[in-house]
Structure 1
């Protein structure tokens, strides 16, 4: 059964109280993501809700840098609309048949067909969420071409034709926009088939504005001084600029501070607040130890510039 949800009340964003979006009625569906506290950004939310309401034969492709919130956006929208999600992470060995399903051995020695994530989503009107789709061999995804448009799914192994539920949706995420990684920042990214990409509408999710991240830090570490939180966000944006770079400066850092890493840094800093070098100690464990010695030193120099006398190593 379906149910209308108020956009303003459900997602906590400014919207007319009469503006609703249709989802599913609560039904203890195990495929519905767990609802977590989440601060929605208005424009990305608008694009996702428009797609969920009427895909018009499209899939939705969300591109953006690592840790910008592409996957969590879909999961938390779906959680509030009680919409089932089948998430698959792309990799070079993922095959189309992995999405469709397979025969498995039963206890009696027979064989039984088991639906894969694509087939379950098609049957039940759920979201097929293909994370890091640009890490998948494009030849394996050609089978999605007709399915994204809403055509029936043929299961060759059983000769069954599964007609898509009207609420079936396909969402993909990637660090690139499907044309390969021109920056060299992301290993394993492959250019995707142009025929498949032509079946997706695109949206971009970048790193949040400072005011948004400040609200997140306030929730995560309410006792931390505002001046410290402000400089944490400033350092995060400085690191991101060096990571993304422009022209010859691209790739000077192989690691970056996503919003999730920023929150981890703040929470660890609060945990280690009794230490004389809590900010530096926590920064290493939240991010810097993922880089080599030169990158760690560069990040600490940037932190020294941002924090001044408040920075101790």
Structure 2
């Protein structure tokens, strides 16, 4: 293990409840170093899945949360000034490629398209990263892999991946788990009993049916864990649900009333 990556090793198993054959498929993809694209709604477990797989494969994981202000230099690196003059500092993508980590670009469509194209030569048979400012060509380490994620529900013509980018990746679809699986997750992560977790999941399922009918996004598994954690600390279930489930996803008074009614059905 390169010393540069020791801080990126995940030493304790991240809890992840598989819903299909995604673990086996990802292991097969990593065995041939196929770049992977994870698609699914926010808070459904994409990031936890990547962390779990990095732990399972015993590979360091470098995560980048993409945003519209991110430049190519933020990914590949730049020259910095210090007391001795200038020195080059690798960006997270270069560090992962050079030393053999999994590089996870979370919500990649939030980054500008002129930024994301820098991954192209790393995600085809070349597996190379040109550092134009430094005049260096980095050959990807044999253990290196790129993983990207995004939420297709938020995409528009202005915020989508180019076809030339998409076709460089294998893809796994993620969604919210079935009722029983999601209940187990909420029990484990939120610290409540099974009956309470099941009621929370039922609230989420009601809200998800409203997606596209007044709601841009449904209640995520992450939000259910937040609500469960509050309840486990002694907050009344109604108050916990309003704070962690209802208020974050809508400002519309009528929609809030509808969601509050759904909550009171179960609590």
Q: TM-score, normalised by structure 2?
A: 0.89
- 1:302 matched residue in structure 2: 262
Residues 107-142 of structure 1 show CA distances to partners (whole Å, capped at 9, x for unaligned) of 23x000000011111111111111101122223222
- 2:155 matched residue in structure 1: 181
CA contact (8 A) 1:65 1:175 kept: yes
TM-superposed CA distance for 1:85, in Å, is 1.5
CA contact (8 A) 1:61 1:173 kept: yes
Q: Which of 10, 31, 36 is equivalent to 1:53?
A: 31
Structure 1 stretches of 4+ moved >4 Å: 220-223
- 2:16 matched residue in structure 1: 39
- 2:207 matched residue in structure 1: 239
Q: Which runs of 5+ in 2 are unaligned?
A: none
CA contact (8 A) 1:90 1:132 kept: yes
Larger Rg belongs to = 1
Residues 120-166 of structure 1 show CA distances to partners (whole Å, capped at 9, x for unaligned) of 11111111111101122223222221211142222111211211111
CA distance in 1, matches of 2:22, 2:184: 18
| 2:100 counterpart of 1:122 | no
CA contact (8 A) 2:10 2:61 kept: yes
CA contact (8 A) 2:109 2:161 kept: yes
Count of equivalent residues: 263
Q: Which runs of 5+ in 1 are unaligned?
A: 2-23, 183-187, 244-249
TM alignment of 1:73-222, pairs within 5 A: 73-108=49-84, 110-151=85-126, 152-176=128-152, 181=155, 190-220=159-189
- 2:6 matched residue in structure 1: 29
CA distance in 2, matches of 1:129, 1:265: 28
Residues 273-313 of structure 1 show CA distances to partners (whole Å, capped at 9, x for unaligned) of 5xxxx1111112212222213332221111233x2xxx3xx
CA contact (8 A) 1:101 1:113 kept: yes
CA distance in 2, matches of 1:214, 1:149: 40
Change beyond 3 A, Cα 1:38–1:264? same
CA contact (8 A) 1:102 1:115 kept: yes
- 2:220 matched residue in structure 1: 258
